[in-house]
Every structure is written in structure tokens, then in C-alpha cells.
Structure 1
Amino acid sequence: MSIGITTAVLFAVFAALLFLGCPISVGIVISSIVAAVSSLSWDQITFITMQKMNSGVESFSLLAIPLFILAGNIMNNGGIAKRLVNFAQLFVGWCPGSLALANIVGNMLFGALSGSSVAAASAMGGCIYPIQKEEGYDPAFATAANIASAPTGLLIPPTSAFIVYSTVAGGVSISTLFMAGYVPGLLMGLGSMVVAFLYAKKHKYPTSGFPSMQTAVKVTLEALPSLLLIIIVIGGIVSGIFTATEGAGISVLYCLILSLCYKSINFKSFSKILVSSACTSGIILFLISASSAMSFVMAYSGIPAAISTAIMSVSSNKYVILLLMNVILLVIGMFMDITPAILIFTPIFLPIAESLGMSNIQFGVMLIFNMCMGNITPPVGSVLFVGCGISKI
């Protein structure tokens, strides 16, 4: 079977299974097996598929993912969100629409702590939306401000998206990826703040005023322990004191101690957090495992090289090719969740990007930024659904 037919079979079967409501991970495995039937015997397919699925999750770096998920869930239930909202209000309380701006700043802070856009939208939206509703904020505006800024947590480290990309891209430095995510993440948040400020000023939204010095000191001291987590984890990873996985373990311990000190968590709630984190981790790790099988089939069939040749034949101008890649990634993000998208399309587009002179760090940030857009765009925008569900709009 030719590369073109194999490619068509792989993606057609995968798309058909998604349309029928099949779980993404299962669809990846089935479509990979169907595409490989023409090239390998059934015994070879079953053996290699199981082998690749097993080796796909045999990575110490991937252990950071369930740990960061657990840390994020502890924070989500540990009373940290409210303290971060109060802290954000210190800086934007004087602006029109200060609650929306505080929501955005809070998402940037909470996202940086939890590494999850869904957790940020859920925690911040649930904390601040009732207050916005009482003060007469337009529900659509309040919801949009929450949704648009929540994905900053996928760029501002620590974030599991960069860990997944590092694994697929062949061991790219996680600490370098973390540092590279700060500027686009902050710009994304600041862009949301500018739009929210202009909208609030035009519609004459209220301000919260300047807090007293006593209030500012109190709020800062309450938020300081939570903010220290960023310094401890990122500082330790970047300085080489510990790895990203060890940093994830430290963040779990720190968040648990902090929640116990705040008396916002008990044994019953912690048991639920553990179960929820295990379920989420299982889904993500099985996706990674399944995508390893698909990556093998694609590499064996020569699909990445064929797609690369097709894209490179469109134009000799590197900027045109780069623009085309961004458009494709943006569309992919609208239909596919971030983890499988990173796993499937990194092997396809990374060689093209490197042939244009782009570093694997820059490409990783570009890829994840496009996936952030997909998180808030229909038809498959997980943050969009969570944000709308909180405000019931």
C-alpha cells in the first residue's frame, strides 16, 4: 500500500471513530492497527503495538504529569484560589471592570501554580463569578474574560504540556521550555486584560478602589505562601537543584501542607482528590501510550516525511510555510485535545520547523500556544465548556 493510501486510511479511520463517539485513545490504537495491516503480519502488529504502548510511558519525566495534576487538584480544593483573587485585586482594583481583570490575573497565577487551564477556569470562575453577578457584570463578558485567560496556565510554567512535548521531541530541555513559556503566557494574559479593560471602560463598569495599607499587607501575607510555590518549583528546576518530576513531587507536598494549614482539606476530600487525579492521569497516560503506537506506524510508513514534502512543495518561502503550519495547528486544536495533538503532530511538524532553522524550543512554544487557542474555541473547547458551565450561560 502506498504512503498516500496508508495516510488516508489512518486519518480517515481515526476521524470516523471520533465522529462515532469513540474515545480518542481507543480510536488512535484502532486506526493505527488498521493502517498497519497492509505492511505487517497480524502477529507483528499485536507484538509491536503492545511493545510501543508500554515503552511510550516508560519515562521518568512522565511521572511529573500525574503529580502536577494532583497538585492542581489539591490547590483547586484547598482555598488557594480565593487568596489569589484577593491578591490580584490589589493591582487592578482601581481599574474599571476590576473583577474581570482580577479574574484574568488570578488565572495567570493559578494556572502557573496548577499547570491546568481547566483547573484555572473552574477555580477562578467559581470563586469570582458570583461576585461579578452581584455587581451587575454582563454574564457573557465575565465568562469570556475567564475563558480567554485560563489557557495562560498551559504556557506559564510549571505545565505538563511542555513535559509531554519534551518526551515526544526527543528529550528537549524541560527547564528551557519552562522559561520560554513565560513571555507568550504573560503576553496572552496582558492581551486579555487590555480587551477587558477597554470593554469595561466603554460600559462604565465599577471599580473596587484602592485598598488600605492594612488590607494590602494582610492580603499579601495570605497569598505569599501560595506564590512561593512558583519560586520554589521553577527556581529549583531551572537552577538544576531538582528535575521537573522531583519538582512536581515537591509541589504536591507543599500544596498538601498549605491546604492542611488553611484547614480547607480533610481525609474525605483528599480521598476524592486522589481518585479524581488518578482518573485524569490514567486518561492522559493512556493517550500517550496509544499515541506511541500511532507514531511508530506513521514513522514505519513514512507518513511524516511525505507530509513534510507536501508542505515544503507549497512554497519556498519559510514564512509562508510557517504561516501554513500555524493555520493547520490552529484548526487541529479546534477539534482535538492538547495531549493527543502534541503526541501526533510533533513528529510531523518538528522536522519541517527544524529544516526552516527554527529551534525545537521555539516550535514547542508555538505548538502549545496554538493548542491553547483550541482549548477555548468550538467545537471541542474544554475550557469553553467548563467556563460556560460555571456561569450557566
Structure 2
Amino acid sequence: MSTGVAIAILLISFFVMIFLRFPIAYAVALSSLLCLLAQGQPLSTICQQMVKGISSFSLMAVPFFITMGCLMGSGGISEKLIALANACVGWMRGGMAMVNIVASYFFGGISGSAAADTASLGSILIPMMVDQGYDADFSTAVTITSSCEGLLVPPSHNMVIYATTAGGVSVGSLFLAGYIPGALLAVSLMIGSYIISVRKNYPKGEKFSMKVLLKQLSVSFWALAAVLIVVVGVVGGVFTATESAAIAVIYSLIVSVFIYKGLGWKGVWKTLDECVNTLSIVLILISTSSIFGYCLTTLHVPDMAASAITGFTNNPIILALLLNLILLILGCIMDMAPIILIATPILLPIANSIGIGPIQFGIMVILNCGIGLLTPPVGGVLFIGSAVAKLPMEKVVKATLPFYLCMIITLLLITFIPVISLGLPMLLGSL
């Protein structure tokens, strides 16, 4: 069978199943199966590629980071981070919106998950904001958009997946590269929130107090220290990303059970049970996506895609915008892990050809995927936020539109100003 027919079978069957609302793992696996059968390849290839896809030593960090986030998220850390954020920015106009955004930055460094951020912080902050006079749809929009900061702030398991897929990119460098873009996203969302808060006359919080800030810093120290252990350990070469993740799990268990006492042993087992469910989904997505990636590689799709895109234009600005557009479209219909695993081998060579290195491109991929999590028809975080707030999804989408603009502006700045993502790794000698 010709290569063109095999590619058509792979892609058409995949997108048909996506639009029929097949679970993404099934859509990826079944379309790959049809492609392999069309090529006459043995079915054992599926098993081989699935095992190969999750056999990387670096990927062992993924379950550890997810477990760390589950333990910290269930251990009473949310309230402490909200109190810390309130001490930092609660005094501003629209203070609770600012608190929501800053708390997401702190919480993202612990959970690394936009969905966990939305569910955990949203269940506390959305009712709190509504009680203080904020509109429910605005409160939900702030919650879901700020949750994307957690994808950029290390430790993020999606960064580990990207580092592995991109061919040995330094996890430590990628971790460092996420801090400033994450902060830039937070600032842009705060500006948008402030403008809306002034127009709608949302309330201010209490006056700023250094004494209260120092007190909340001391209370939150043990939680924030988990991030320092991971990032400093990896960047400093003390241990690998996988080793740091394992250490962070033990540390999180000690902090949640013995220091904050937010979890009893029954709570630990319940949290681990929920964590295993999350892990199974992530690992199935990784393993099935590896089959899809194998099919693309054997059919030389990355080379053909690169030739087609660069043949369309040689203008690096247009190519960079085109890369973002492709990733945004994929983000609207697929989950993060499959996008990273499938799109990275295809698009990274194109990015490199126009001067966008693997570290900068990794940050672009993750932010694009984050925007996709807020966008129908898939929009996992959008659905969670709507469910937490008990609002129609259409109403939440409408309230989110100004924040989409903030996120797109941030994405363009990251795309065309490399120092935003590369500055910190270069400063600390990680590049």
C-alpha cells in the first residue's frame, strides 16, 4: 500500500474518532492499529511500541510528580497558599481575583496540573469571590485561566514528557525556563482582572501588612520548600529529575501528615487511590501516543510536514505564528500528553530552522496546550470550572474571552522574545 494511503487512513480515522468523541487514547490506538494493518506490519509492533513509550528512565519522574501534587493538594495546602496570596496582593482593587491568580502560581509549583488547580482552588475561591460581590462567571474565568500558570511553573510532569520527546532536553533547564513565562502570564491576567474590576467596581481587600505577609510565609514555608528541593536539586546536579521527584513524594508525605496534619493515614490511602487513577490515564495516553508517533515516523510525516510548511513561506515570523496556530488547534481537540508526544517530533525541526530552540519551543508548546484546555470542544479545565461553579459552559466561555487575549499576548511575547524563557537558564548557567 502506498505511503499516501496509509497516512490518509491514519489521520482520517483519528480525526473521525475524535469528532465522534472517542476517548483520546482509544482514538490514537485504533487509528494506529488501522494504519499498521494497512501497511501489513505485525500486531506485535503495537505491544513493542507501547512498552517502549513508557520505558524511559526520565518518564519515571511523571508518576512521582503527580503523586507529590496529589499529597500536597489533599494535605490542606490550598488554604495556606490562598492566605499567603491574600497577604501579597489582596489589598488591590479586585483583590480576590489577584489572590486567585497568585495562589495559582504558588499551587502550580506544587501540583503542576491545571485541572488540580481548578478543582482544588476553585472549590474554595469561587464561592468566596461570589460571597464578596464578584460575578460567578468572572470568578470562574479567573480561576480556569490562572490554572494554566501551573503548567509552566516547575515541577511540571508535562515538561518531563516534553524533555523526553524532544530528544534529551535538559529537564533542569526546562524547569528554570518556565518561571518567568509563568510569572508573565500571571501579570497579564492580573492586568486584565484589574481593568475589569475597576469597570465593575469590585471590592478591595484589607490594607497590606508586612507582619501578616511574613507570618503567612512562615506557615507556607514547608509547602514551598518542596519546589525548592526539586528545582535546586535538579539544576544543581545533586540528583536527577526522577530522583528529585521520588524525594519530593517522601517530603510531601511527611509535610502533609506530620507538619500540616491535613491528612491521616486513611486520607493518604484515599489520595493515593485517586492518584493511581490519574496516573493510569496519563501512562495510557503516553503509551498509545508512542504507537501513533511510530506510524508518523515510519511514514516520514515529520519530513513531509516540514517541507510543506517551509514551502508555504520562508518568513520566520509567519512560520512562528503558524506553529502556534497549529498547536492551538490541536489543543482544542486533544489532551496535552498526546499533543506533546505527537506534535513535538514534527514541529520541533521547523522551530529549530527559524531559530527557536527546544527549550523555548517547549514553553510555547505547553502554553498553547494550556490555552487549549480552556477551549471547546474538549476543554477539560473549562468543563471542571463550569462544574465547580455550577454554571453553563457558554457563560463561562463568554467571561473568559478577555483573558484569552491576555494569554495570546503572553504567548506572542514568549514566541518573539527568547530571553523571556531562556534568560533564567542562561543566567544560572543551565544552558
Q: TM range, normalised to the smaller chain? A: over 0.9
**AA of the residue aligned to 1:54:** V
Q: Distance in 2 between matches of 1:218 and 1:300?
A: 58
Matched, 1:154 2:151: yes
Q: CA deviation at 1:214?
A: 4.6
Which amino acid letter does the alignment assign opposite residue 27 of structure 2? G
- The equivalences for 1:30-49 within 5 A come to 30-41=30-41, 44=42, 46-49=43-46
Deviations 1:106-157 (A, max 9, x none): 0011011111111111111112222212111111111111111101111111
TM-score normalised per structure 2: 0.87
Q: CA deviation at 1:65?
A: 0.9
Equivalent of 2:138 in 138, 141, 166: 141
Give the secondary-structure state (helix, strand or coil) at the position aligned to 2:341: helix
Match of 2:61 in 1: 64
Residues 284-321 of structure 1, C-alpha deviations (whole Å, 9 max, x = no match):
11111111111111111111111111111111212212
* Aligned twin of 1:231: 228
2:112 counterpart residue number: 115
CA contact 2:24–2:335 (8 Å) conserved in 1: no
Please say if residues 90 and 216 of structure 1, whose CA atoms lie closer than 8 Å, have aligned partners that are also in contact: yes
- Cα deviation for residue 173 of structure 1 reads 0.7
In structure 1, C-alpha distance between the alignment counterparts of 2:291 and 2:343, rounded to whole Å: 14
Look up the match of 1:88. Answer: 85
Amino acid at match of 2:29: V
Residue 9 of structure 1: aligned partner: 9
Return the alpha-carbon distance in structure 1 between the equivalents of residues 79 and 385 of structure 2.
17
Q: 1:376 is aligned with what amino acid?
A: L
Q: Could you say what secondary structure the match of 1:37 adopts?
A: helix
Amino acid at match of 1:189: A
State the SS of the aligned residue for 1:313: helix
Is the CA contact (8 Å cut-off) linking 1:3 and 1:303 kept in structure 2? no
Where do 1:1-393 residues align within 5 Å? 1-41=1-41, 44=42, 46-212=43-209, 214-260=211-257, 261-393=259-391
**Gaps (5+ residues) in structure 1?**
none
Superposed displacement of residue 40, structure 1: 2.7
CA contact (8 A) 2:166 2:344 kept: yes
- Give the letter aligned to residue 31 of structure 1: S
Q: Give deviations 1:74-125, integer Å, cap 9, x for gaps.
A: 1221110100111011121221111111010000110111111111111111
**AA partner of residue 259 (structure 1):** S
Please report how far the alpha carbon of residue 380 of structure 1 lies from its aligned counterpart in structure 2 after TM superposition: 1.1
Q: How far apart in 1 are the matches of 2:284 and 2:201?
A: 49
Using the TM superposition, give the Cα deviation of residue 366 of structure 1 relative to its aligned residue in structure 2, in angstroms.
Answer: 1.1
Tell me, in whole angstroms, the C-alpha distance in 2 between the residues paired with 1:136 and 1:373.
27
| Change in 2 beyond 3 A, CA 1:216/1:306 | closer
* Residue range with higher mean Cα deviation, 196-205 or 338-347: 196-205
Q: Which amino acid aligns with 2:130?
A: K
Which residue identity is paired with 2:185?
M
Whole-Å separation in 2 of the counterparts to 1:75 and 1:387 = 20
SS at match of 2:39: coil
One-letter code aligned to 2:361: F
User: How many aligned positions are there?
Assistant: 390
Work out the CA distance in 1 between the residues paired with 2:344 and 2:112: 20
**1:49-94: CA deviation from partner (whole Å, max 9, x where unpaired):** 2111111111111111111111111122111010011101112122
Give how far 1:7 is off: 2.0
- Give the TM-score normalised by structure 1: 0.96
Q: For residues 114 and 6 of structure 1, what CA distance do their matches in structure 2 show? A: 40
Alpha-carbon distance in 1 for matches of 2:116, 2:343: 25
**Counterpart of 1:99 in 2: which secondary structure?**
helix
- Aligned Cα RMSD in Å? 1.4
Q: Is the 8 A contact 1:3 1:306 kept in 2?
A: no
Q: Deviations over 1:228-260 (max 9, x none)?
A: 222221111111111111111122112211111
Amino acid across the alignment from 2:158: A
In structure 2, stretches of 5+ residues that fail to align are: 392-431
* Cα shift readout 1:18-46 (whole Å, capped 9, x = no counterpart): 233322212212111211233234xx2x1
Q: In structure 2, what residue type is equivalent to 1:303?
A: V
Q: Distance in 2 between matches of 1:156 and 1:340?
A: 20
Letter in 1 for 2:109: A
Q: Distance in 1 between matches of 2:247 and 2:194?
A: 37
SS of the aligned residue for 1:259 comes to helix
SS across alignment from 1:96: coil
Contact persistence 2:87–2:209 (CA under 8 A): no
Alpha-carbon distance in 1 for matches of 2:91, 2:310: 51
